[in-house]
Chains A and B, each alone.
Chain A
Amino acid sequence: MKRFGTDITFILPAFAVFTLFLVVPVLSGFYYSLTDWNGLNPETRFIGLDNYIRLFNDSDVGNAIRNTLLIAVCLTIVKNALGLTLALGMQGTGKIQRIMRVWYLVPVMLSALAIGYIWAYVYSPSDGVLNTLLEAFGLDGLARDWLGDSRLSIYSVIFVSVWHFVGFTMIIYVAGLQSVPSDVYEAAYLDGAGKWSMFKNVTFPLIAPSFTVNIVVNMIVGIKVFDTIFVMTNGGPGTSTENLSILLYRQAFAFDRMGYASSIAVIMFMIILIFSMIQIFALRKREVEH
């Protein structure tokens, strides 16, 4: 009994903070999604599922969900492929590898807002760094209006997000790779495994936990991405880069529809929950202990 008391005293402060600042707001978000709260007026009406009915008939929401999923899937695939490649290249404890690892990690430390502003300049059609460089190398034909072309803009935004956070993905893979004991490789080598089969049969299963973390985290980050888009395109041109986060912000603070925005937030929560569950379930099975 005394033990129980000690446990509780340790858990209670964290639990209280967690409840007060996370659980309560999240639950009240669910509640507000059932009201017509405008974010200002203290009087709100309970309107049941009206917000959700409206949401399913709102073409902006459909467009935002499509954009959100496109961003999330692209981000997850590209960041993992690139992150793993970089990690494999940066393996080892040599000086260059160590410097390069830090180098790739630098963008992670910068704020997404600053990065958004910088890249908005890089992408600028008339005097931006990117087009100027392309022209300097005689590749004028490749110069584009990167953020102004509504077919391209979403990929331009995705690229910046990849550039921003690929270092983080890489570091998790590096950690995973370093935790693989060298005797396993030696055994595989003695058994005559080639480089590819060594990666496929030894490395990959053993770093599966990093894989799970990276896929799930990047998917969640991809679904939620807001600041980069907000600064670079604000969802434009038109609605071509408007994802659920931008739409939610707009509904909540520009249109004063806090209730409706809450229902969008709930939908986002559901999407994240479903994707994470599927991924964790599917990926956990591949993990092996060593």
Chain B
Amino acid sequence: MRQHRRFTGKAALLLVALLALTATACGSTEEKRAAAPGEQKEQVVLNMYMANTSDTTYMPEVNRRFEEENPGIRIELQTAPVDQFETVIKTKLASGDAPDIFTIFAGTKKDSLVKAGYLMDLSDQPWVARLTDTARETASKDGKVYGLPNRQNLIGVIYNKKIFNDLGIAVPTNWDEFLEASRKIKDSGVVPLGLGLKDQFVTQMIPYAMAPSAIYRDNPDFDKNMYAGTQQFTGSVWEQMMQDYMALNEKGFFNSDVLGTSNDQAMQMFASEKVAMTVTLHGRIAAIKEANPNLELGMFPLPYAKAGESVWVSSMPSLFGGVYAKTKHPEEAKKYMEFLTRPEIAQFYLSSVNSFPAFTDVTVDLDPALKEMEEALKVGSYYFLDAVWPNTVQLVMQQQIQSVFAGRPIPDMLKAMDKAFQDGASMQ
């Protein structure tokens, strides 16, 4: 009997806890509805569902300014971590419960959404004419624009200027100089290059940074030929690229246990000056500075070229988002997108995320660490490679690079990438 009473007691407690939980959940939505101003006139609510990137930091402020100007429109912003976003948005779209505006990713990643008819054609929007060529291309599929490009990301070498100055090292402009600089840094007892290859996306940074100079500068049709089946990774410059990548490891230029180190740890090592360089997205500069405001940082393109040859930059326009094809408020959504392209708004968010513009008529003052990259961009650039590849290649490449670090032969890696490419291309 006593046992029984104790059980009912516990059950009751659990029930109360559950009720309390559901009650609070209901309460919060109720509250929101009540708080909405302007009850007399029907207010249009635009639902935004965005992946957590650096863009989400400025969205609330931009949205506030937009609402101020357009009292008839209210924006409901919801964000989620990238992984979660990618799974949830697919479910939302498939079940017809889609937000009006949502994050889409540039290049081939958005193509499956276009093919399924979920994205609105924005080609007739006035801002399309102001886009840079690369921005327009990565936002398009078959000549139609489906997303709003808002900025450009770069991959390059972020370096600690103080360490370079102390050792009397100049910014390297070719591969031999880069290796020489790394050797000098290593001899001084500092780790030349910090990489956290435990996080798979980090594996691609160096090949992405190498490829524009190694492949696309001289052979801009490489990817086209891949799709046509006349080009393969096997037997291409990729073999040399991967050998040179591995050579950096064999020479001891990376931090030890590079496969077990996470990206966060690599960034911490850089911020605490245990590492002189890292190859990553320019967006990391802000995070590194936050971790150690005293650092003097610079950034240069990975000089994967012989002396006298030009160095190209790995650069990628990123998309703010796209508009749901069947949205109930197409005019309002387009109005919002147009608002984002205004020079003063673009300048506001570009300086807040410290990023390069995707519009030809917008200029912005960036972190001084990016000066060298600004100049380098003018020489030439090519996309992050996955923007053009079928979506199957990138993940296979990442896994394979980890495997190569663990001892797998490079030709096997390239064979796997070729297979992934053919698989993916046949599905497109």
Contact = CB atoms under 8 A, between A and B. Distances in A.
Nearest to A150: B406
Most buried by A among B90, B118, B407: B90
B226 to A, nearest CB: 18
A234 B200 CA distance: 8
B152 interface: no
Nearest to A54: B423
A40 B257 contact: no
Contact of B262 (A39, A120, A149, A253): A120
A70 B356 CA distance: 49
B236 interface: no
Contact of A125 (B261, B392, B400, B406): B261
A235 B257 contact: no
A147 B408 contact: no
Interface residues of B, number: 36
Given A39-B94, A40-B113, A255-B395, A149 B259 contact: yes
B280 interface: no
Interface string A145-177: 111111000000000000000000000000000
B257 A148 contact: yes
13 contacts: A38-B116, A40-B113, A42-B116, A123-B260, A124-B265, A126-B256, A148-B261, A149-B259, A150-B407, A236-B200, A237-B259, A238-B400, A238-B402
Nearest to A234: B200
Interface in A106-147: 120, 123-127, 145-147
Contacts of B367: none
A93 interface: no
A233 interface: yes
Given A42-B94, A126-B255, A147 B198 contact: yes
Contact of B198 (A42, A127, A236, A257): A236
A126 B405 contact: no
Interface string A20-62: 0000000000000000001111100000000000000000000
B265 A253 contact: no
Contacts of A123: 260
A240 interface: yes
B259 to A, nearest CB: 3
Contacts of B59: none
Interface string B69-87: 0000000000000000011
Nearest to B117: A41
B418 to A, nearest CB: 14
A7 B258 CA distance: 63
Interface of A: 38-42, 120, 123-127, 145-150, 233-240, 242, 250, 253-257
B234 interface: no
B118 A40 contact: yes
B428 to A, nearest CB: 11
Nearest to A37: B94
B255 A41 contact: no
A120 to B, nearest CB: 7
Given A40-B90, A237-B403, A148 B391 contact: no
Given A124-B261, A148-B258, A234-B200, 13 more contacts: A40-B93, A40-B118, A41-B115, A145-B260, A147-B260, A148-B260, A148-B261, A149-B259, A149-B260, A236-B259, A238-B403, A254-B395, A256-B112
B402 A236 contact: yes
Contacts of A145: 257, 259-260
B399 interface: yes
Nearest to A257: B427
B260 A40 contact: no
Interface centre among B258, B260, B403, B406 (most CB of A within 10 A): B260
Given A39-B90, A253-B90, A237 B255 contact: no
A147 B196 CA distance: 12
Contacts of A120: 262
A250 B116 contact: no
A20 B200 CA distance: 38
A41 B259 contact: no
Nearest to A254: B395
B260 A239 contact: no
Nearest to A148: B260
A227 to B, nearest CB: 12
Contacts of A238: 399-400, 402-403, 406, 408
Nearest to B269: A126
A274 B353 CA distance: 54
**Max chain A Cβ within 10 angstroms of own Cβ: one of B200, B257, B261, B400:** B257
Nearest to B392: A255
Nearest to B89: A40
Interface string B384-428: 000000011001000110110111100000000000000010010
A166 to B, nearest CB: 25
B262 A236 contact: no
Contact of A126 (B112, B116, B261): B261
Contact of A150 (B112, B116, B256, B403): B403
A170 to B, nearest CB: 22
Contacts of B391: 254-256
A164 to B, nearest CB: 20
Nearest to A36: B427
B158 to A, nearest CB: 20
